[in-house]
Structure 1
Amino acid sequence: MSRRQRLVAALSAGAVVGSLLIAPASTADPAPPPVEDYCGGQCHHVLPPGQNGNATLVELAAHMLFGTRPKHSDDQIGKYESLVPGYKELTTGTIGEFFNDNSFGVPEDQVERRYQPRSDVTIVRDKKAGIPHVYGTTRAGTAFGAGFATAEDKLFLMDVMRRAGRGQVTPFAGGAEANRALEQGFFATSPYTEEELWAQIINVSQQGERGRQALADAYAYLEGINAYIAQAYHGRYFPGEYVATGHVDAITNEGEIEPFRPTDLVVLASLVGAQFGGGGGNEVQNAVARMALHERFGPQRGEEVWRAFRAENDPEAISTVHDGRSFPYAVSPENPQGAATPDPGSVTAQQLVFDETGSATRDEPDTQPDSATKPPAQAGEIRDPAEALRGIFDDGVAPPDLSRPRGMSNALMVSGAHTESGHPVAVFGPQTGYFAPQLLTLQELQGPGISSKGASFAGLSFYTLLGRGQDYAWSATTAAQDIIDTYAVELCDPDGGPVTKESDHYLFRGECLPMRTVERTNEWKPNLGDDTPAGSYRLVSFRTRYGPVTHRATIGGKPVAYTTARSTFMHEVDSIIGFQKFNDPSAVNSAESFQRAAHDVNYTFNWFYADANDTAYFNSGDNLVRPANVDPSLPVVSDPAFEWKGWDPATNNAEYTPFEQHPNSVNQDYYISWNNKQAPGTSAAKLEMTAVQRGDLLDGRVRDLIAGGGKVDRVNLTQAMADAGVTDLRAERVLPDLLRVIDSAPVDDPGAAALVEQLRGWTADGGKRAETKPGSRQYAHAEAIELMDAWWPLLVRGQFEPALGTAAYRALTDVMGINESPSGWQNGEPGLHVGQGHQGSAFQHGWFGQVSKDIRGVLGDPVDGGFGQPLCGGGDLPSCRQVLLDTLRQAAAVPAEETYPGDADCEPGDQWCADSLVHNKIGGIGQDKISWQNRPTYQQVVEFPAHR
């Protein structure tokens, strides 16, 4: 019997108690008082697939047997998908067809359910989307209601994620490869002990009145979550996944749903911060690539080529701030000191997984505390957090590539000087991936000191994280400026014995100290949703005072460990103060007060604000003050001379750049962000912030809207976003220059000429990846799109590898893959897909700017920040042209089954399906595939006509 058959059988058997698995009826409590709303019906938002992420045992059985889904679990996905075919005909009157009304309150005729989980809070659910509107007569009641409502909607998801953050998904949900990848990724990034989690709570509680209030809010929120757990367990309407994973018996109801603790909130905050709010940390790979270029070309030319690839402060890159000001940060000095370059070939990844077995040795999952046990040498490497959390009950779905960089979200915002109404207009939101249920949850919160509506991460929703207040709205994009550094610590032996790369002691300020180990021992048994055999392993993180060890190497023959030092390590909860202010109408009443609140967020985010009069931007993060002679893009020797200014190793506190040095702006003509460069002078932590970046697609469209006195409204700004969201960046920004090279001489081969004309026709028509008509599942220009998808990996390799040499080329692809297309992250060969497709977010990471600079150099164009002597064809135009034509012919011969190799969701060769968005299941309810679109997961369209 297959996994699905066993699961369906068990769920069907459990349905005999279905009459008990029903949530309590609504209560007829009085309607809450209205809250003043200054948006005037001009605030809208959408979050697919739907608000409800919980399904009872009976609902799970019905979904497995008949394909039905619980109410409000899929009623936003259709609106979201339909914008792709419908954006060109969008009008003010039809915005509601693609977005939901985001006004405060619920009209009486739209109330689906009104109830009081306790006397000081009323929750109102609306009919259209089932969103909870929480009204507290006390502040504690408001937070309690937020916890209760979030647990109603996303309890099992919250449970999985708190265990992922601790590195313990497998004992809870089984040993599927996806679950192991998930727990390993987050454990490697934030390997905290329970004592350290509590220390973060204590630290925040000591930050004045707001810190004490945040702690009180969090505790009231936990009370709400746990009240729902108790009621749902005893009433037997809890999520059916608890039965499927063996935690509760379907018939007897024996078992337990563990209550949430304060440290669970810290774990969730750490998970979010590590995934979306960091930047840097790629210094070892940078050093290896730079060293390979120096070996290939010599130090002077090698450094020139490295700096062109690095694009640290590319003068051709667009910036969110473009008002002529500069905000220098994390820029490499001319003559850096203390760089810790490894010996060639000596770098190995730090082992993370130990003692992996195929069968369990005990009956129950292990929950023993962190240990200092020394592990034996076995295989297993540290993995980064997953963007796509392939999860529970997926039938044979491969886990994500956890090395994939994370880049999320976009924003378009225009000041009132350039709008039809004279009021600012904003279209913005985060791209958090596509999940069933969604990681974000929607809510309205109204109570003493709190007035907001929007989205929060499930489990952290005692404040709205992204959304709107009474007369303002805000959103964020991932900024990823460099707040993570890599130190090389020299290994030692306390007894004076031989030192190897595997040694577990290191030198710290002259002392030979033992590495601290944090350990998780995970065991799992097969459950209803998982055919993986029983098994176990240990996860072990080796930590130094400079952070967790990520690699081992030698430098000058001496063994070293490379460690990751992050400014937010042990401080993930500190951002709670800024989020608290966002929700407080007395704290945020202007653009400037919003910026000050954003400065209290220590994650690396770009924050955007709009009210009836002003727009504002602020780049948040605990930006480090480093010694002037340190290059932040390379590993650094662990010497006090090269440490962060004011760094205290006991608390991980340091000196941070002041408010004025963070990129910021008020009432610039317009703002765009698609994880592009923040401002001139701000160094890019990754290689993608260069001459061609997906933010160009937004920037050009918004500039065109206001050019010549043009006026912006909610419609044409939404259309600009949507049009960019179906455009292939390569077709719009790189292909025209590639065609210029090819057009430098006649194409005599008729077959090659036909291929060139295919590409020319596609880019002339806008370079879109859009269906011929809604629902056709067939792209217009499908042949040209397939040709480009096959050509790009061959083109980049042919353009660069002969000049760079294989070693340097491969080292550079380790720093950043050459392509992030919708169907996968191809990295150099036809059919070699690295990374997870089906996630929407595309064209951030890739050698788009590097290709553009080199090709324009070959053409003789002036290229600021280019390679000097071009690399393609040795810099010779005819030779480079031949490379392009040869690789184009090769691409035409690649079968569709190699370009789109297929996976658990798609048949090989199915182009539309390969691009499509798949809502990855973290639970038992799945969703249908939808058309590719490169846009935020949660998105707001706002225009306030009035202000307090």
Structure 2
Amino acid sequence: MPRRTPRNALDRLRTPRRFPKFLKTAAICILVGGLFSPISQAAAADTAVAGDYCGGQCSDILPPGENGNATLAQILLNQAFGTQPAHAEDQLGPYAGLVTGYSTLTDAKINSFFNDASFGVPSDQIASSEKPAGRSDVTIVRDKKSGVPHITGTTRYGTEFGAGYAAAEDRLWLMDVFRHVGRGRLTSFAGGAASNQGLEQEFWRNAPYTEADLQAQIDNAVAAAGDRGRQALADVSAYLDGVNSYIDASDSGRYFPGEYVLTGHKDSITNAGTIDHFKVTDLVALASVVGALFGSGGGGEVNNAISLLAAQSTYGVEQGTKVWESFRERNDPEAVLTVHNGESFPYATKPDSPQGGALPGAGSVSREPLVYDRTGSAGTSSAARASKTAATTALTSAKRGMSNALVVSGKYTASGHPIAVFGPQTGYFAPQLLMLQEIQGPGISARGASFAGLSMYVELGRGQDYAWSATTSGQDVIDTYAVELCQDDHHYLYHGTCTAMDKVEQKNSWSPTVADGTAAGSYTMRVWRTKYGPVEYRATVGGKKVAYTTLRSSYLHEVDSIIGFQMLNDPDYVKGPQDFQSAVQHINFTFNWFYADSRHTAYYNSGDNPVRASGVDAEFPVWARAPYEWRNWDPTTNTADYTPASQHPNSIDQDYSISWNNKQAKDYTTVPWGDGSVHRGNLLEDRVKKLVAAGGVTRSSLVKAMADAALADLRAEDVLPDLLKVVNSSTVTDPTAAAAVSKLSAWVSAGAKRTETSAGSKRYADADAIRILDAWWPLLVKAEFEPGLGGDLYTAFTANLPVDESPSAAHGPTGSHAGSSFQYGWWSYVDKDIRAVLGESVQGPLAQKYCGGGDFGACRDVLIGTLKQAAGMTASQVYPGDDQCSAGDQWCADSIVQRTLGGIKHGKISWQNRPTYQQVVEFTSHR
């Protein structure tokens, strides 16, 4: 049978359909042998347990399940009958169950909703034990409950070999997908579906690396890091050997992931075809995707410039700038802070006398085309259209909803030991982007989660007597430069010399899909690169033609962070909070890092923060000229001076710390708009602050605080009460509006949460109030602000910050069914404006009052009018339905979907606003 690469192969994996006859035959042929991997099922002795100082009080969870590989037979059975491979979704139920179980949670019940994250596996809980490739220096034991691999090695090489082997056992297909995404080669690998095209286009534009670039990252990182760099390279080499050993074993044993058959890489009957071995540059490509998703804060300078010009056009330069700054909220005094002790960490602050600004001429900005020479693109006419498919939106926006952390010092806990509940929100996928593992070997002792294909170390988890986690921080490490063009559109001035841009191209082609009758196709992606980074926009500045380029400090340096992760896994390196902070300083991605052991807590904000030239405003594009470059910037290596560790927000033993992508510290400017008086972080701050004030915090009470915040509607909890103050300032005479007010008031009194009437009912308590607010919010924001701002400026500001991100708001940054909600929206603007209209004190107010033009009565009329309109909207109008839900199904519209990146599908779960991977830790002792 000829090898075929279906154009929309991944889409075929996601949609139940009649299977071609050859697949049915293949399923019969391999049904018995293909359902199980060849791991010994014999019980083994207890695994060797390194020093574990958690005392059984470390727990974790990562839905849907550890097993992310499935044979062809398992895929066919799943799509035909819904059956699940072992450990494919056994963590999904406990994870989902917390929404109804948290109210009665006790410490003893925590592991009903989490895994026991103790080191090792008790002998009666061992499901399997194997020595991969027959090696005597490493053993992989899997536990019965979740199938997590516990890797124990007697040599460093064997340990890392086992880590690679286990990774391939659990995530081989996903790893293969993402090494192709990172190279911009997904469609050639998995077919030309719109989602595939969108993924490769989204990431390749930001990291258009050649093979030489990928190899150079390895060479430079190793050279710069000395002994640790050489050890990292040796670890990677051993890890790859393990991955490739599993590829060979699964190929010869014919238990490789079934997606390779469905995408035409393997023949189900003859076993013809190949699964390519992994090489070191594949891991660099993988790292570039992870870095782009979660660790590259900044950018947006062109959009900022467009909205500033719109504000100045509406109000004049002076007043327009004041209006713009008030909406930008660079350093809002009412913002919730992670470092809340008053300490200041100035970074990317507004300069007194801005220099080097290169704002575009009005209407001159255009996005640089990415796609050329498209043929046979059935159903996908442009890159923009491709990138808006559901799976692509969910994945590329995962970085927007990443993570939260609740950490309490031992001074305020019942035991006297610090407690932490923390984890990253990496989105919901099948298989999950992260995988769980325990690694014990020379110089390594850790358990936790790692990105598939980068799991030579635990990246988020626990060591022997400490645990750590991260949230996306979003500080600005990306700048936009205006390079002046010369000669033609592909030459620019560099330090006065007309210099040619580098053209980097990636051509993708795919074969027809026989089953669906779709056409073959191809297209070429092209990026023009300069010394100041890839070209993203074209414009004119002061009449001169320019290209706007994007330069980030982690560009060409995604591999550098491996040293920090190596340190975090090393029990001889991390022995306390200062060591932890030193380790994460080696991570150049923009993260907030949190730490807890039995005595101390710590926090540190990582990332290579470039030292900008004096007078440069990081909010806007600047000229690509020597005086405005990063200090001591070397374009050949993309290195520069970076702010010292002491200038990064940090703390040790603060009373408590929370993070939900909020502002880190006073005077520390982050990129996202909306870090103002109402932010998602307030949901954690209010609850944890109350617990700390009462004292005696326990693991269960801190989990309860997290879970309670995870079900709260931020708008209803922190903004709706003031809206109702205005509305109820006199009797509401309109019966429709009055009924709506009554329902909303009752919902607020009941706690303003989006919870089911009972477990599994798939119907919300206070369903009408929730529907009304979902309909009302976008209407009231538009009616409140557009008249004062004008249509052009209102539109420009909504491009900087969407008005809403409710769970069902598919138009929001995260997209539908993604869980993460209420991070981006106009809650702070509405809060400040309504409080100003009410005559209340507002620190950092907007430049003027907007609701009703600042007139209280007119504002009330606006609110009641839009409320009446919202109350009259049916559920089908508010929740119009999509590929997952029927119109009008409110619960389903909010529900979380595990977006398929392979052949196995899972059921929907009820909405909760919570990290994907999460730990609950309280160490009882210390080395």
Task: Name the TM-score, length of structure 1 as normaliser.
Answer: 0.94
**Which residue, out of 185, 191, 205, partners 1:188?**
205
Structure 1 position 8, deviation (Å): 6.0
Structure 1 position 526, deviation (Å): 3.4
Equivalent residue runs for 1:321-340 within 5 Å: 321-340=339-358
Equivalent residue runs for 1:647-662 within 5 Å: 647-662=633-648
Structure 1 position 332, deviation (Å): 1.3
- Looking at structure 2, the residues matched to 74 and 325 of structure 1 have their Cα atoms a distance apart, in angstroms, of 44
Matched, 1:471 2:465: yes
In structure 2, the partner of 1:422 is 416
Structure 1 position 684, deviation (Å): 1.9
In structure 1, the partner of 2:703 is 718
Matched, 1:56 2:67: no
Partners of 1:48 and 1:74 within 8 A in 2:
yes
In structure 2, the partner of 1:129 is 146
In structure 1, the partner of 2:427 is 433
Matched, 1:87 2:88: no
Closer/same/farther in 2, CA of residues 619 and 383 from structure 1, 3 Å limit: farther
Q: Which consecutive unaligned segments of at least 5 residues does structure 2 have?
A: 1-7
Size of the aligned set, in residue pairs, is: 908
Partners of 1:281 and 1:564 within 8 A in 2:
yes
- Looking at structure 1, the residues matched to 253 and 514 of structure 2 have their Cα atoms a distance apart, in angstroms, of 23
SS of 1:327's partner is strand
- Looking at structure 1, the residues matched to 306 and 836 of structure 2 have their Cα atoms a distance apart, in angstroms, of 26
Partners of 1:817 and 1:825 within 8 A in 2:
no
Partners of 1:427 and 1:941 within 8 A in 2:
yes
Closer/same/farther in 2, CA of residues 667 and 633 from structure 1, 3 Å limit: same
- Looking at structure 2, the residues matched to 751 and 389 of structure 1 have their Cα atoms a distance apart, in angstroms, of 36
- Looking at structure 2, the residues matched to 108 and 78 of structure 1 have their Cα atoms a distance apart, in angstroms, of 25
**Which residue, out of 94, 104, 111, partners 2:119?**
104
Equivalent residue runs for 1:214-613 within 5 Å: 214-358=232-376, 390=391, 406-493=400-487, 503-527=489-513, 532-613=518-599
In structure 2, the partner of 1:170 is 187
Partners of 2:46 and 2:122 within 8 A in 1:
no
- Looking at structure 2, the residues matched to 530 and 465 of structure 1 have their Cα atoms a distance apart, in angstroms, of 41
Matched, 1:36 2:51: yes
- Looking at structure 2, the residues matched to 30 and 867 of structure 1 have their Cα atoms a distance apart, in angstroms, of 66
SS of 1:914's partner is helix
String of CA shifts for 1:223-274, please: whole Å, max 9, x gaps.
Answer: 0000000000011000011000000000000000011110011011111111
- Looking at structure 2, the residues matched to 404 and 96 of structure 1 have their Cα atoms a distance apart, in angstroms, of 27
In structure 2, the partner of 1:775 is 760
- Looking at structure 2, the residues matched to 515 and 7 of structure 1 have their Cα atoms a distance apart, in angstroms, of 49
String of CA shifts for 1:330-383, please: whole Å, max 9, x gaps.
Answer: 1111221111111111111110011111179xxxxxxxxxxxxxxxxx985679
Letter of the 1:210 counterpart: R
SS of 1:309's partner is helix
In structure 2, the partner of 1:160 is 177
String of CA shifts for 1:188-212, please: whole Å, max 9, x gaps.
Answer: 1111000000000001111110000
- Looking at structure 2, the residues matched to 751 and 901 of structure 1 have their Cα atoms a distance apart, in angstroms, of 22
In structure 1, the partner of 2:907 is 928
SS of 1:579's partner is helix
Closer/same/farther in 2, CA of residues 432 and 837 from structure 1, 3 Å limit: same
Letter of the 2:471 counterpart: T
Equivalent residue runs for 1:607-756 within 5 Å: 607-707=593-693, 709-756=694-741
- Looking at structure 2, the residues matched to 643 and 89 of structure 1 have their Cα atoms a distance apart, in angstroms, of 56
Letter of the 1:754 counterpart: A
Letter of the 1:26 counterpart: S
Structure 1 position 664, deviation (Å): 0.3
Matched, 1:807 2:801: no
Matched, 1:203 2:197: no
Structure 1 position 385, deviation (Å): 8.6
Letter of the 2:428 counterpart: Y
| The 10-residue stretch of structure 1 (294-303 or 766-775) with the greater mean CA deviation from structure 2 | 294-303
Closer/same/farther in 2, CA of residues 618 and 51 from structure 1, 3 Å limit: same
In structure 2, the partner of 1:496 is none
Closer/same/farther in 2, CA of residues 808 and 871 from structure 1, 3 Å limit: same
In structure 2, the partner of 1:45 is 60
- Looking at structure 1, the residues matched to 581 and 369 of structure 2 have their Cα atoms a distance apart, in angstroms, of 42
RMSD of aligned alpha carbons: 1.9
**What's the % identity of the aligned pairs?**
57
SS of 2:508's partner is strand
String of CA shifts for 1:632-689, please: whole Å, max 9, x gaps.
Answer: 0111111111110110011100000111011000000000000000111101211021
String of CA shifts for 1:151-205, please: whole Å, max 9, x gaps.
Answer: 0011001111111111111111111111111110011111100000000000111
- Looking at structure 2, the residues matched to 811 and 850 of structure 1 have their Cα atoms a distance apart, in angstroms, of 15
- Looking at structure 1, the residues matched to 170 and 790 of structure 2 have their Cα atoms a distance apart, in angstroms, of 54
Letter of the 1:151 counterpart: A
- Looking at structure 1, the residues matched to 855 and 394 of structure 2 have their Cα atoms a distance apart, in angstroms, of 41
Matched, 1:11 2:23: yes
Closer/same/farther in 2, CA of residues 612 and 421 from structure 1, 3 Å limit: same
Structure 1 position 834, deviation (Å): 6.9
Q: Which consecutive unaligned segments of at least 5 residues does structure 1 have?
A: 361-377, 392-398, 494-498, 827-832
Letter of the 2:345 counterpart: F
Letter of the 2:351 counterpart: P
Matched, 1:907 2:922: no
Closer/same/farther in 2, CA of residues 512 and 295 from structure 1, 3 Å limit: same
String of CA shifts for 1:483-534, please: whole Å, max 9, x gaps.
Answer: 00111111111xxxxx5xxx11111111111111111100112347876532
- Looking at structure 1, the residues matched to 519 and 99 of structure 2 have their Cα atoms a distance apart, in angstroms, of 43
Structure 1 position 78, deviation (Å): 0.2
String of CA shifts for 1:825-853, please: whole Å, max 9, x gaps.
Answer: 44xxxxxx775210000000111111111
SS of 1:208's partner is helix
In structure 1, the partner of 2:89 is 74
Structure 1 position 572, deviation (Å): 0.6
- Looking at structure 2, the residues matched to 179 and 767 of structure 1 have their Cα atoms a distance apart, in angstroms, of 39
Letter of the 1:840 counterpart: G
Structure 1 position 139, deviation (Å): 0.6
Partners of 2:461 and 2:469 within 8 A in 1:
yes
String of CA shifts for 1:38-78, please: whole Å, max 9, x gaps.
Answer: 11100000000100011111111221222111100011000
Closer/same/farther in 2, CA of residues 312 and 752 from structure 1, 3 Å limit: same
Closer/same/farther in 2, CA of residues 825 and 818 from structure 1, 3 Å limit: farther
Structure 1 position 894, deviation (Å): 2.4
Letter of the 1:543 counterpart: R
Partners of 2:805 and 2:813 within 8 A in 1:
no
Partners of 2:560 and 2:588 within 8 A in 1:
yes
Structure 1 position 12, deviation (Å): 1.9
In structure 2, the partner of 1:374 is none
- Looking at structure 2, the residues matched to 786 and 531 of structure 1 have their Cα atoms a distance apart, in angstroms, of 42
Structure 1 position 691, deviation (Å): 1.2
SS of 1:390's partner is helix
Structure 1 position 750, deviation (Å): 2.1
Partners of 2:814 and 2:820 within 8 A in 1:
no
- Looking at structure 1, the residues matched to 921 and 387 of structure 2 have their Cα atoms a distance apart, in angstroms, of 33
- Looking at structure 1, the residues matched to 229 and 387 of structure 2 have their Cα atoms a distance apart, in angstroms, of 29
Letter of the 1:168 counterpart: R
Partners of 1:873 and 1:880 within 8 A in 2:
yes
String of CA shifts for 1:701-727, please: whole Å, max 9, x gaps.
Answer: 0011122x4221101100000000000
- Looking at structure 1, the residues matched to 248 and 301 of structure 2 have their Cα atoms a distance apart, in angstroms, of 48
Partners of 1:181 and 1:402 within 8 A in 2:
no
